[in-house]
Amino acid sequence: MKITKATRWRVFAGVWIQSLFTSATAFFSLFCLPFCNQFGWSNSDFSMAYTIYMFIYCAVGFLGGILAEKLQPRVAIYIGLVLFAGGWILTGFASSIPFLYIAYGVIAGAGAGTIYPACLPTALKWFPDKSGSISGLVQAGAACGPFIMSPIAQMLIDNFGAPMACKILGVVFLIGVGAVAWMIVPCPDGWTPEGWVPSEQQSKELHTKDYNIPQMVKTPIFWVLLVMFIFANAAGTMMVSATSPIAQTQIGLSAMDAALCVSLMTLFNMFGRLSFGVIYDKLKGWNSLILVLILNGISMLMLTIAHSFAYFVACIALVGFSFGGLLVVFAPMVKTIFGSKYYNRNYGLIFIGYGIGAFVGPKISASFFDATGSYVMGFIGSAILAAVAVLLVIVAKKLANKMLSA
């Protein structure tokens, strides 16, 4: 493969475009009422499909990473794409809850989980000089996807019905991602951009020992990072999963105004992804991660006294901004600690923590509300998780420094 100055930017473009399409799960809730009304399902039964999707998505990540390293990223993407698009198409044929769980939850979830670790880690390998900025831009693409695709999906639902909309979107995803997968090529080991002079810290990171999965899981820092990722994501998803009911219950907003709050938080989530990409390159990983968690904890404590619309909007803006930076900061740090050779599979394995946090967070929030009739204890619990995660960052930083100096 001949490498030119345009090669890595072509890889970035391909990864960004695929992230725009595969972020479709963010607007899956649009299909809730149409499907439930048509087939008589309950909202909770339907929403379980999303929970299954997220669990499978995170659980198969390391398999997608292994495929990307063994068979080339584009091969893993094509395999995942068949499952992802096929799952959406099959969802259009779902007339029972078990079929929905298999089609969307298992098949589409496995497809997305195979694609993700073949894309973001591959892009970051091409940009050792600006890992944070590229991570932020790619993650912003995932945030842009719902903004662009949600109106299209709603239009398809209104004109053709929810089942046919799923089938059409499945074909759109197949064509859209399939058209750019060829652009995503692996970065040769040891490659660096022409003319780039790494700093002392960057030079150390470039020569980090490469850990494979068996070696990685034997290190204490792996388990600290995994728990930290679970806590950090649980803290964020407690709020993200319940913005609308919180706005209606605690602030007294209408459903329409609550929906506006969800959109605003999504918008600030995108700003957070872009901003923390730059912040990462300036402050470096550990300091950036601490900043993410501190902002998240502060925003949760602010929410305990949120009773006016303006103040609530300020709170959710900070929640979205800080939570948007989590994946942006975390992704390049895995490469910094465990090396780039097995980065796809290593990140895919640690990404399981994201899925566990996404499952645990909303459950804790819902349990607090059911027990107290208020979300305040959920906010406090989230702030505590963020604080514990900060302590784990400090522990992880010391462990990482020992590994780099060994």
Interval 371-405: pLDDT, tens = 888 888 888 888 898 899 999 999 998 988 887 66
Residue 202 has a pLDDT of 66
- Over residues 156-204, the pLDDT tens digits come to 988 999 999 999 999 999 999 999 999 999 988 888 888 777 776 667 6
Contact in structure between 165 and 153 (CB atoms under 8 Å): yes
pLDDT tens profile 26-76: 778 778 888 888 999 887 788 788 888 888 988 888 888 899 888 889 999
Domain annotation for the chain: domains and CATH numbers: 7-183 (1.20.1250.20), 200-405 (1.20.1250.20)
Top-confidence range, 208-212, 255-259, 299-303: 299-303
Residue 206 pLDDT more than 70? no
The set of residues, in sequence order, having a beta carbon less than 8 Å from that of 151 and lying 6+ positions away, is: none
The Cα 120–Cα 323 span in angstroms is 18
User: pTM for this one?
Assistant: 0.80
Judging by beta carbons within 10 Å of its beta carbon (0-12, 13-18, 19+), is residue 405 exposed, middle or buried? exposed
Mean pLDDT of 241-256: 77
pLDDT of residue 173: 94
Q: CB-based burial of residue 401 (10 Å sphere; 0-12 exposed, 13-18 middle, 19+ buried)?
A: exposed
User: Residues 309-366: pLDDT tens digits?
Assistant: 899 989 988 988 888 888 888 888 888 889 888 888 898 888 888 888 877 777 777 7
Task: Inform me whether the pLDDT recorded for 77 exceeds 80.
Answer: yes
